[in-house]
Structure 1
């Protein structure tokens, strides 16, 4: 049985079937549907651990890799599998059928008591229970019915119900099963002289299968939506942050200082155009009731083509720098705009109380995608020109010319191919809102300035949240942009150290996003953002407290020795600890911000408001880096300059605490 969701009309049909069945008997029928009878989280941890434990065996037998590499791969395997196995179809496949049915039966017994079926006057209550994820259905009867009806009778009804569900006739399956239960009760318990309807006749739905006007969203639809983050994140990890950007500045361009400046301009203009276009295109799509997938497909095509152009960044042709910068800026704009329309699909997929979990899972899976792609490219494809070895000390898998930096140039096409392959589940499995015909001509859409003014006037608390998010997102972006630069200047880290550092940050961010999604649903997105901002501030101050020979500003430690092992010095270890706090906090901040945006958005304007969301995150993205650069120059200190980001975080936190949310959005 697939995940069941019910429209109001379908609920009404089932309620009528219950009333008709009970009109022929003095018995009581209660129908309950639950998405799943248990979370089975322990099985995901168990299987992830077992597979991770098994990984070293073939590596130790067939390779000469050192224990440090093997253990790193083992840890990576566990951390990569843990969020992937959270996807419902995968999670359920890991659980033995006997255990699933046992827990579903226990849930049915629990509901039999919770719904008071054991308290009817004649002890004639009958529960028809369906647990979708376990593919389990059962009839539980109270003692008076149990004494007169053979268990095989109920099994026959369940078998017929299951067969009809398998044929796709779910409402007919429920109606026929309810009618059959009524027939059985009518034979043994005909209507009494006194009408007494002791229990409710409506369908009871548990665990998030709430009413929907758009029909069922199957697990594979949610899987397709989550895979968009998996498809997109490698672009940010490989191209924007860790690999291609350093190559462009230090390996491709003739003048590194000028190249760094131009790369910053390309990043800024790409984000600025995305910020300006997002609310306009989102408002247009909402006002015309357009599906969102065509927009995602359009920007996906632009992204893929632009990424392929990065292959032309041959170091013997530095004159192509402008072409590469334009292609990168367009790719960044396209990725941001595609994300706007993908985010806007969230409220059509899950109910409000599951938004945090879906958003957090998306961020976590995206981070894992970035991590996997980083390990593949840095560990197996891109080689160091000096040693012709990859980050893992291996020969590149492909015959790429290190002298012409083909490994670095392949990052763009690799990211494009990755995106193309893994975005397909979104288009194949995830439902989109239908296009609605408009009888009247579309109302002319106001400009961006008018839209912003209307936002502040009509939704002041949402505008205040977007302002807060603008500040703390600027601070967070600056920390990621300059944190690695600061570490490289303090400890002299090269490509190997930066690659491992990037992997550590991505792993901790993925775990943080996954955990934060569950905290989001329990405590509310605003509380999660505030708590994680405090943790982020602690991590940032901790990072800035470290220098070559000191920790926490005052504790003296031996400096890093030349030729020392990876992260051997006390300063490096402390830096990694505080950096991990930053990684853990960053995932929940971004995921919970997306959830909170969904909860404060008016119905029918979700795409437009996610345009404002993108606008708030990008329109001033240059502010924190510019402030850091200016303070660094004036104070002649990178540490003091980067400390400016803490001011952005504090300002964002202060404004966030002033946001007053309706009870439905507070969590």
Structure 2
């Protein structure tokens, strides 16, 4: 009986040839180009800036500090919830459409425009709260662009090498992404983001005449992300070529029918169904942890955006190194053991963070003004960054092992669906827990349970993925 790997079409290039190497390097360039939207936008610069602006706005309406912080976190949660629902509904249909159309590059271009437009629009969020709702919508548009382009670029991964090479290629791609993210974060912190005195981290005024009073250095994060993406997508555009595929007429109706067929087949495809379910929960928890890590530090530990940025640099450096190492290990032992180990690590870190405040750690009182919570959270950030990066890279490898060889974009559309079908759940549960408790710290508790559900479902996942041709036939 042939294995899935044996049935998979040959990649467009030999991965050892000059053309194949350029194709892989071009594919890695996408991770480098797109990561700043998540590193700078979602987690370490714009997210905390949005939270601080929203909190100040709600303070001005008469709420006390704790209530204003909770309202700010709830608003950010609402934006991520709505965006996640849109992505969950559209992702698998778009994947099937792209497979049936035979081309993925036009979709990458189209959603890159969403990415750039959304990022550019973040500039308009003023410190007084003007454009607060507009910025939330613009951020969602850019995030949709980032997520959808990732679906189509991820679907190219099976074509880049043989089965035992995919883990290394995936891990190295994520490592380059984190390296790009940390470099972009360095640039923003050193040259743009204002301190309390209106100077940047190294004592310079923001460049290009940006007004620190209007927080224009921090607000420049949006245009910076957009320009970064456009420049570093050039190698992807020049070097990446997709394998030719036959076009299937039928449009949206055929795409929806294909998705329905796949979903109906899941009860007999136990490993795939279990993996999609598992990743649905643990990736939702991870994204929520990334999303609210910076805002948590801002609201609970009262960190400045610069402190959050330094936290992000430490996390991103750890991510780049560990993800590259993780990709090598993935190629040797497979993705499943790595996924299990990383989930357990992230659960432990979440439990530790839940018991930490500025005044105490799990009931152990700290001296007034103690720096222990700051040091502890920096360490937690490094662990979260490292474990989260490895988890994402190995998850992508595991999806390749479960993908139908003739419909990779549809598979990664389902993968996006599994990551977004409950993507509203993480922010929504944080919203619910925060609202009920009135405490931004306790709002993080649901993430532990989401990780735990994902861990249990992995029991039914075949570490080799799908090996029976009957399982991948439609």
1:269 counterpart (73, 82, 85): 82
Q: Answer yes or no: is 1:362 the counterpart of 2:160.
A: no
Name whichever of 409-418 and 333-342 sits farther off. Answer: 409-418
1:330 and 1:631, CA in 2 relative to 1: closer, same or farther beyond 3 A? closer
Aligned partner of 2:269 in structure 1 is 459
Q: Who is 2:403 aligned against?
A: 601
Deviation, 1:234, is 0.5
Residues 315-334 of structure 1: per-residue CA shift (max 9 Å, x gap) = 5782x444333322211111
Larger radius of gyration: 1
Contact 1:491 1:560 in 2 (8 A): no
Q: Report the counterpart of residue 212 of structure 1 in structure 2.
A: 10
Q: Give the aligned partner of residue 211 of structure 2.
A: 401
Q: What is the total number of aligned residue pairs between the two structures?
A: 445
User: Over aligned residues, Cα RMSD in angstroms?
Assistant: 2.8
Shift, 1:489, TM fit: 4.7
For 1:502, the equivalent position in structure 2 comes to 312
Give the structure-2-normalised TM-score: 0.86
Partner of 1:32: none
Q: CA deviation at 1:510?
A: 1.9
Q: Give the match for residue 123 of structure 2.
A: 311
Is contact 1:549-1:557 (8 Å) kept? yes
CA positional deviation for 1:395:
2.5
Displacement after TM superposition at 1:369 (Å)? 0.9
Question: How far 1:502 sits from its partner (Å)?
Answer: 1.6
Using the TM superposition, name which of 536-545 and 352-361 deviates more.
Answer: 536-545
Q: Displacement of 1:654 after TM fit?
A: 0.7
Aligned to 2:291, the other structure's residue is in SS state helix
Q: Would you say 1:432 and 2:242 are equivalent positions?
A: yes
Q: Is the alpha carbon distance of 1:389 and 1:279 closer, same or farther for their aligned partners in structure 2, counting shifts above 3 Å?
A: same
2:471 aligned residue: none
Unaligned 5+ runs, structure 2 = 1-7, 60-67, 469-474
The match for 1:584 is 386
Q: 1:483 to 1:295 in 2, by over 3 A?
A: closer
CA distance in 1, matches of 2:430, 2:126: 32
Would the alpha carbon gap of residues 585 and 665 (structure 1) be closer, same or farther in structure 2, given more than 3 Å must change? farther
Aligned partner of 1:332 in structure 2 is 143
Deviation string, structure 1 residues 401-444 (Cα, Å, up to 9, x no partner) = 11222222321111111000001111101121225356x77783
Q: Give unpaired runs (5+ residues) of structure 1.
A: 1-209, 562-568
In structure 2, how many angstroms separate the alpha carbons of the residues matched to 1:458 and 1:286? 23
Question: 1:614 is matched with which residue?
Answer: 416
1:352 equivalent among 133, 158, 163: 163
Q: Bigger relative contact order, structure 1 or 2, given CA contacts below 8 A and separation 6+?
A: 2
Q: Report the CA distance shift for 1:213/1:418 in structure 2 as closer, same or farther (over 3 A).
A: closer
Aligned pairs for 1:91-110 (under 5 A) are: none
**Separation in 1 of the partners of 2:124 and 2:293?**
29
Give yes or no for contact 2:284–2:450 (8 Å, CA) kept in 1. yes
Deviations 1:149-180 (A, max 9, x none): xxxxxxxxxxxxxxxxxxxxxxxxxxxxxxxx
Summarize the Cα distance change of 1:218–1:452 in structure 2 as closer, same or farther, 3 Å threshold.
Answer: closer
2:324 & 2:314 partners in 1: Cα distance? 16
| Alignment of structure 1 residues 26-41 onto 2, 5 Å | none
More helix by share: 2
Matched, 1:417 2:227: yes
Give the equivalent residue in structure 2 for 1:282.
Answer: 95
Deviation at 1:548, TM superposition (A): 3.3
Contact in 2 for aligned 1:356/1:518 (Cα 8 Å) = yes
Residues 612-651 of structure 1 correspond to what in structure 2 (within 5 A)? 612-635=414-437, 637-651=439-453
Question: Cα gap change, 1:459/1:340 in structure 2, threshold over 3 Å: closer, same or farther?
Answer: same
The answer (yes or no) to whether the contact 2:47–2:294 under 8 Å persists in 1 is no
Which residues of 2 match residues 73-472 of structure 1 at below 5 A? 212=10, 214-216=12-14, 217-251=19-53, 254-255=57-58, 257=68, 260-288=73-101, 290-315=102-127, 318=130, 320-384=131-195, 386-436=196-246, 444-446=254-256, 450-451=260-261, 453-472=263-282
2:376 matches 1:560: no
The counterpart of 1:530, out of the listed 340, 343, 362, is 340
